[in-house]
Amino acid sequence: MVLQTFAAPGNLSNFNIIVEIIMIIVLNNYFILPRDNKKTHIVLRHIQLAVRNGEKLSKLFGDIMIANGGVMPNIHNLLLPKNKNAPKPSVLFLSHALQMRYRDS
């Protein structure tokens, strides 16, 4: 891996440069989230959302856990209303739909 070759004992300055460049990319490209939410500080949650929503950064940091970053919001499509006037699905319907899904696979 590229980072392992740069992280050799004599090449720590190169490794620091790579980490610094990655952080600059994260902060520059994804500084929009805290600004849109009218926040004055960047917290670990903002970095988590920025990294997981970016395609390349998500591949790079796929196996890394960001402490205090929280979890990515994921709402199943069955739970989302189709429109405001549509009735919400009942619990029995959801459990039946999930059973059918797992039985077919």
pLDDT, position 1: 45
pLDDT, position 92: 52
pLDDT in tens, the chain (105 residues): 455 555 556 666 777 788 788 777 777 766 666 677 677 777 777 778 777 777 887 788 778 777 777 777 777 777 777 776 655 555 555 555 556 556 655
CB contact at 8 A, 27 and 42: yes
Same domain? 37 vs 6:
yes
Per-residue CA distances from 80 to 70, 91, 92 (Å):
22, 13, 16
Same domain? 37 vs 85:
no
Same domain? 56 vs 86:
no
Same domain? 52 vs 92:
no
Cβ atoms within 10 Å of 89's Cβ, excluding its own: 15
CA torsion, ordered 13, 16, 17, 22, to nearest 10 deg: 170
Two tokens, residue 50: 């920025």
Same domain? 6 vs 47:
yes
Those residues whose C-beta lies under 8 Å from the C-beta of residue 43, and which sit 6 or more positions away, are 34, 68
- Which domain covers residue 79, as residue numbers? 75-105
Per the domain annotation, does 66 fall within a domain? no
